[in-house]
Structure 1
Amino acid sequence: MEPGDEAGGRWLREFGVGEVVRRLRQGADALPGVSGTRWGGLVARAGRAEPERDLEVARAAGMRFVCPGGAEWPGQLDDLGDGRPVGLWVRGTPSLRIWALRSVAVVGARACTEYGAHTAASLASGLAERGWVVVSGGAYGIDGAAHRGALAVGGATVAVLACGVDRPYPRGHTALINRIAEQGLVVGELPPGDHPTPSRFILRNRVIAALTTGTVVVEAACRSGSLVTARAAQRLGRFTMGVPGPVTSGLSAGVHELLRGEAVLVTDAAEVVELVGDIGELAPPRRGPVLPRDLLDPAARTVLAALPGDRPAPAEDIAADARTTRDEAIARLYELRALGYVERHGDGWKLTRQAMMSVREGRGGC
């Protein structure tokens, strides 16, 4: 059966693996829910299947087959219902179940920009340094940048392929996928030797979404396959996040559309972990620089703000603008003079050059 075949998944649930295999092998009466033509196609494929050879090839290549209910099976894949994988072929030594418990998908455009590649690599390295597993699809662009970002800091990463995991695709990523298999995990639904097709890429994305705690989309046009992953994550109740880009970039249009819906805007790994992590894993607050005048007593700041910028002013006028008494204003003015903010000119008071620069910086800040 093809990945994501819900009719087949229903048969396995209702009749059991042994009965489904028996009927397909014998070409018996069609199981319910499919046409005669489709049943005939499945029977023909069953006749060509060589599971013993597949397992032998897998063992020789250092692969294993993980079944639902097994010790290494990630239980969150069961959220896919009858569309869950029949099983997963796995390359690499870590436990897929354990790694999936603390994992985040980072996906996006194949033809990404330098901004997208840099952002994906930074996100992935930041997540890996915080102990999270980075999951992606092994493709060119954002996927590859995410895998490399995790590997660069010695982190954990998983590539979910739309073909047999013994034949890396795309071919240009053979070295990368082999390195992932050595340092992390390469997984897929298809048996050894199977090739990718457009529909298999789309169906592969549901596995990425179900396997992980949340999905981050870095760059995606309006028809990007990575949006399929994000929408699958939303349907499954997973966290969905997007990294904004220039409003003039078509490669960010799909992300921006997600952000107009239920996706959460994130800009770095700390913000991702704040969403998907444990209670108390908060991102640092975003704020501008602290200026010296921010450290003044509130009453002194009020008097400082009451001084005109272009001329000296008498204490009475300053007190009126600061909504305080003349004596209080004078006391604050002498305090400000000691700190270098104001200077006295006869009977008036004026801002110093330092204070004028501080006022300009404050008005230009966030």
Structure 2
Amino acid sequence: MSPGRSCGAEEPGAEMPRAEASVRAGEEARAARAALTGIIEPGDETGGRWLREHGPVEVLRRLTAPAFMPGAPLTGASEKRLDGYRSRAAAVDPQRYLAAAASVGGRLVCPGDEEWPGQLDDLGDARPVALWVRGRPNLRMWGLRSVAVVGARACTPYGAHMATTLGAGLAERGWVVVSGAAFGIDGAAHRGVLGAGGATVAVLACGIDVVYPRGHAELIERIAEQGLVVGELPPGSHPTPSRFVLRNRVIAALTRGTVVVEAEYRSGSLVTARSAGRLGRFTMGVPGPATSGLSAGVHELLRGEGVLVTDAAEVVELVGEIGDLAPARRGPVLPKDLLDPVTARVLEALPARRTADARDVAREAATTRDEALARLYELHSLGFVERHGDGWQLASSAVRAARDRRGGA
């Protein structure tokens, strides 16, 4: 069965004796899920349980049937809440939704489709009813190697710089960057990927044909052309504060890990990171100044379940496969770092501001006089020490500075 017709194939009653009947059942399930995206709010676990127990066609039938009609009722919701579902159900038009999505190059991806990202099933009854997707790439394939980069809307120049370089660095390493297309960190991460010619996914809290925020109209259009724009709500739907929060669970579940770049204590980005942690994904944070309120939430995350990262290489080392290691980090190599252990010990045994004879040096370095003398001559030839009569002392600061500029012997 093709991806376009397999939606809901896993639901009860999908297996039919004839191919034609099976295709009709698949189309009916697809239309039902399209309708239910306009009835059941994102993250509604009661609606998710109904879908699991009864399948999309039956749930839609029960919500559109008159309340007085006989039949098993949908349980777990008050009559007042059921009235709200029925009111929405009376107004939905799945064919209009599908046509509106197609008009902007979109499609509906449902559980059971070839393109459905299986990791979203980790959300249990809170998984999306379906996803509206705009863009050419395959969402499931892109989700297999993806990382979320999220953070504050009112970010600092430092935060924007870090998000941009993270996005570009991950793109250059072949990773898909997922974010929410919001102002601030989200937008900076998307732009970093697009500038590097990489792959990025924007998960919206509205319909895929609705531009929000309006100031990101050009950015969202570029993402749709070069990547994917994804949403749970049907075309024409507008965002609300609760939809932004619930959208974050999809970002967390879709990706292997979430990186937070700047976030206050009550930031929605921390919701994404903690959702990722509960789902068994990696949670990461980019540190900022200890005095910055915009980094306070990130630092709190790092004190708990988060892992500190500073660039794309460190992110990939954590979420990638065996062998995806970040380069070793260390300060500059000084000439004395190249000395063998015994010679280094002899050098350290010399007093800072006076001479010492070989016997005193040997005692401090825990070696013999002959060994100490041999090492002192080596150090002399390298410019580390000077001899004055029978005594030895550290080379003058001018001599050491010149030697360090030369990089040693």
Who is 1:147 aligned against? 190
CA distance in 2, matches of 1:21, 1:341: 84
Who is 1:8 aligned against? 47
Shift of residue 228, structure 1, vs aligned partner: 0.8
Who is 1:47 aligned against? 90
- Once the two structures are superposed, the pairs formed by residues 118-267 of structure 1 within 5 Å of their partners are 118-267=161-310
Who is 1:17 aligned against? 56
**Which range is displaced more, 268-277 or 340-349?**
340-349
CA distance in 1, matches of 2:274, 2:385: 59
Who is 2:337 aligned against? 294
Tell me if the contact between 1:309 and 1:356 (Cα under 8 Å) persists in the aligned partners: no
Who is 2:132 aligned against? 89
CA distance in 2, matches of 1:131, 1:354: 49
Who is 1:364 aligned against? none
Q: 1:278 aligns with which of 321, 345, 351?
A: 321
Tell me if the contact between 1:90 and 1:188 (Cα under 8 Å) persists in the aligned partners: yes
Which amino acid in structure 2 is aligned with residue 198 of structure 1? Answer: P
Shift of residue 187, structure 1, vs aligned partner: 0.3
Shift of residue 111, structure 1, vs aligned partner: 0.6
**Which range is displaced more, 265-274 or 138-147?**
265-274
Tell me if the contact between 1:74 and 1:100 (Cα under 8 Å) persists in the aligned partners: yes
Tell me if the contact between 2:384 and 2:400 (Cα under 8 Å) persists in the aligned partners: no
- Once the two structures are superposed, the pairs formed by residues 50-129 of structure 1 within 5 Å of their partners are 50-129=93-172
**How large is the Cα RMSD of the aligned pairs?**
1.4
Counterpart secondary structure, 1:97: helix
Which amino acid in structure 1 is aligned with residue 276 of structure 2? Answer: A
Counterpart secondary structure, 2:229: strand
Who is 2:352 aligned against? 309
Counterpart secondary structure, 1:313: coil
CA distance in 2, matches of 1:92, 1:41: 33
CA distance in 1, matches of 2:362, 2:54: 88
Which amino acid in structure 2 is aligned with residue 12 of structure 1? Answer: L
Counterpart secondary structure, 1:122: helix
Shift of residue 353, structure 1, vs aligned partner: 2.7
CA offset digits 1:196-226 (Å, max 9, x no partner):
0001001100100010011111111000011
CA distance in 1, matches of 2:299, 2:187: 22
Structure 1 runs of 4+ off > 2 angstroms? 27-30, 353-358
TM-score computed with the length of structure 1 as normaliser: 0.95
CA offset digits 1:141-160 (Å, max 9, x no partner):
01001101111110100000
Who is 2:388 aligned against? 345
Number of aligned positions between the proteins: 359
CA distance in 2, matches of 1:311, 1:240: 54
Shift of residue 356, structure 1, vs aligned partner: 7.3
CA distance in 2, matches of 1:357, 1:337: 12
CA distance in 1, matches of 2:399, 2:344: 13
Q: 1:37 aligns with which of 65, 75, 80?
A: 80
Tell me if the contact between 2:383 and 2:399 (Cα under 8 Å) persists in the aligned partners: no
Unaligned runs of 5+ in 1: 362-366
Unaligned runs of 5+ in 2: 1-39, 405-409
CA offset digits 1:107-160 (Å, max 9, x no partner):
011011111111111111111111110000000001001101111110100000
